[in-house]
Structure 1
Amino acid sequence: MQKNQIGNSDLYVSELGLGCMSLGTDEVKAKAIIDRALDLGINYLDTADLYDQTQNESIVGKALKGKRQDIILATKVGNHLNEDGTWFWDPSKRYIKEQVKSSLLRLQTEYIDLYQLHGGTIEDPIDETIEAFEELKQEGLIRYYGISSIRPNVIREYVNRASLISIMMQYSLFDRRPEEEMLDLLNKNDISILTRGSLAKGLLSDQAEQKLRNKATDGYLTYSVDELTHTIEQLKTKDLINQSLLTTALRYVLKHPAVASVVAGASSLEQLETNVAALEQGYVITDTLYKNLQSTTKADTYVKHR
């Protein structure tokens, strides 16, 4: 599988990453999915301390025993868990530096390749947060850091003030908000995008029509159900070389040079293998097709999440 550089770092990640949130809490099943992902050429695994109330990190750590050197491992911080399972937002230096030690123990590793702030608002103590990450780099506990956010104003602050290498953000044919404000800005600053939600909750997969037929959604962002149905039909006519909707959706977000990897979850071996197969068809989104796909979908902008 093709590997792309994250920013100006020495991290090269598979163009399809494994989002670990969907693995579930069955350790045997989760390990099987991770092992198969590695066999298929995926080398980027993305988890978070919040997933399954820290259990996800523990499961990933066990699954990676003896394989750590082959993996680019990412996790996230900022959601302060209480003993009762609730959490509150805490981007403080103190919490970040305390929590990284817990994540390292759960992940059974001495370092984290990419440590990400799991959110962020413009009211945060941003300089303090950056200082925490920079100190963790100096201490050798993390190699690089980034943020997971869709808020343009927050992202701009980090671009201007931090030496981060990546932004994880939701980006798909049904959520093209990053295109207006973020993609070119990040590319210009050598900061890579790791996408999430690129299949729009399955609405850009080969199960799209079934989901709509079974009323598994009441819309998506500004799309109504009727608009989704019509747009999916139109997308299939725009797919000029008769590839699947899944392949088109994945290749579309990888078209922009700022995007290093599409991070997709998998709750089964079948889903994982389907995602990998969709990318390994030698399919290229031409400039003409790219524009046709854009003319068929909405170019929304960020309104609430600034």
Structure 2
Amino acid sequence: MIKRIIGSSSLEGTLLGLGCMSIGTDKKKAEEILLTAFDQGINYFDTADLYDYGQNEELVGEVLKQVRNEVLIATKVGNKPNPARDGWSWDPSKQYIKEQVKNSLKRMQTDYIDLYQLHGGTLDDPIDETIEAFEELKAEGLIREYGFSSIRPNVINEYAPRSSAVSNMMQYSLLDRRPEEQAFPILENNGVSVITRGPLAKGLLSAQFKKKLDQAKDGFLNYDQQELTELLHALQDKFENRSLEELAIQFNASQKVVSTIIAGASSKEQVLSNVKAMESPALSDEEIALLKQLTKDNGYSEHRL
């Protein structure tokens, strides 16, 4: 499995990571998914304190503690559950971050977090205070590195230059190329790696695309349903020897600023499908050019610089 260094850190993660949000709450099934990923060479596992209100962290920690020194565990903080656990509010304060890291460590049965990420970000954040919290946690040895996760260029432009964050997680796929215009250049110029999520665009870029198309009555971002139908069939026609999963994963991988591609899985079969796509040949320059020609490269309409 290909590995890349995350930002300016010493963290070396597999290019394909497992998004743990979809592993469910059944321990046996979750264990099967997690260990399948590990057995296939994946060493990067992405969770968050919000997923299943902490239960996801518990499962990830319990299953991976037997191989803790061989994996990178990334989790997130900032979304504060309400008492009824039927919603949450945003809290990027230093006090909240430093309180919650202890809870995440306890749930995951570990002494440190490899990559601790702010689960979002806005211009209204107490940015210097937020950064200070992560810097102190790093100095205390509770986290190895930290990052943030925002799709907003104006927010990224505040966090990246003012911190020693090594990563930013954001949505990116063939159907969502918005980060290319402003976000990617800012991050690359500041030595911050991109961790992509949603590479399969909610299953539209997968073998299940016909079923997903039927469900996408309102389209997907800048594509209406008819445009999606035409594009996905065009991709199949013009790339006869490539699956949609291959095109999706390898397109993400073609971006040098991308260190990690987070693909979720709710079964071991999905893990194996994602790994197969990751291990397929890299896209040629001609293939990349054709993919860019066929897809839209609209930038963000809001939160611009």
Alpha-carbon distance in 1 for matches of 2:189, 2:238 = 30
Q: Which residue in the other structure is 2:155 paired with?
A: 154
Alpha-carbon distance in 1 for matches of 2:253, 2:105 = 31
Q: Which residue in the other structure is 2:126 paired with?
A: 125
TM-score normalised by length of structure 2: 0.97
Task: Check conservation: 1:211, 1:217, Cα contact below 8 A.
Answer: no
Match of 1:287 among 263, 280, 285: 285
Matched, 1:198 2:196: no
Alpha-carbon distance in 2 for matches of 1:215, 1:102 = 38
Task: Check conservation: 1:173, 1:198, Cα contact below 8 A.
Answer: yes
Q: Secondary structure at the match of 1:66?
A: helix
Tell me how large the CA RMSD over aligned residues is: 1.2
Alignment of 1:209-220 (within 5 A): 209-212=210-213, 214-220=214-220
Alpha-carbon distance in 2 for matches of 1:249, 1:238 = 14
Q: 1:218, CA displacement in angstroms?
A: 2.8
**Corresponding pairs, count:** 303
Q: 1:217, CA displacement in angstroms?
A: 4.7
Alpha-carbon distance in 1 for matches of 2:147, 2:217 = 32
1:132-168 CA-to-partner distances (Å, cap 9, x unmatched) read: 0000000000010001110111111111100000010
Q: 1:302, CA displacement in angstroms?
A: 1.0
Higher mean displacement: 229-238 or 64-73: 229-238
Letter in 2 for 1:259: V
Q: 1:305, CA displacement in angstroms?
A: 4.5
Alpha-carbon distance in 1 for matches of 2:245, 2:299 = 24
Letter in 2 for 1:267: S
Task: Check conservation: 1:23, 1:267, Cα contact below 8 A.
Answer: yes
Task: Check conservation: 2:152, 2:183, Cα contact below 8 A.
Answer: no
Letter in 2 for 1:31: E
Q: Secondary structure at the match of 1:68?
A: helix
Kindly tell me: are residues 64 and 104 of structure 1, through their superposed partners in 2, closer, same or farther at Cα, counting changes over 3 Å? same
1:107-146 CA-to-partner distances (Å, cap 9, x unmatched) read: 1100000000001101110000000000000000001000
Q: Secondary structure at the match of 1:64?
A: helix
Q: Which residue in the other structure is 1:263 paired with?
A: 262
Alpha-carbon distance in 1 for matches of 2:295, 2:160 = 29
Alpha-carbon distance in 1 for matches of 2:177, 2:238 = 17
Q: 1:182, CA displacement in angstroms?
A: 1.8
Runs of 4+ in 1 over 4 A off after TM superposition: none
Q: Secondary structure at the match of 1:67?
A: helix
Q: Which residue in the other structure is 1:51 paired with?
A: 51
Higher mean displacement: 65-74 or 108-117: 65-74
Q: Secondary structure at the match of 2:155?
A: helix
Q: Which residue in the other structure is 1:15 paired with?
A: 15
Task: Check conservation: 1:176, 1:298, Cα contact below 8 A.
Answer: yes
Q: Secondary structure at the match of 2:33?
A: helix
Alignment of 1:138-177 (within 5 A): 138-177=139-178
Alpha-carbon distance in 2 for matches of 1:184, 1:141 = 30
Q: Which residue in the other structure is 1:246 paired with?
A: 245
Q: 1:207, CA displacement in angstroms?
A: 1.2
Task: Check conservation: 2:156, 2:187, Cα contact below 8 A.
Answer: no
Alpha-carbon distance in 2 for matches of 1:185, 1:131 = 21
Give the fraction of aligned pairs with identical amino acids, expressed as a percent: 56
Task: Check conservation: 1:194, 1:259, Cα contact below 8 A.
Answer: yes
Gaps of at least 5 residues in structure 1 are: none
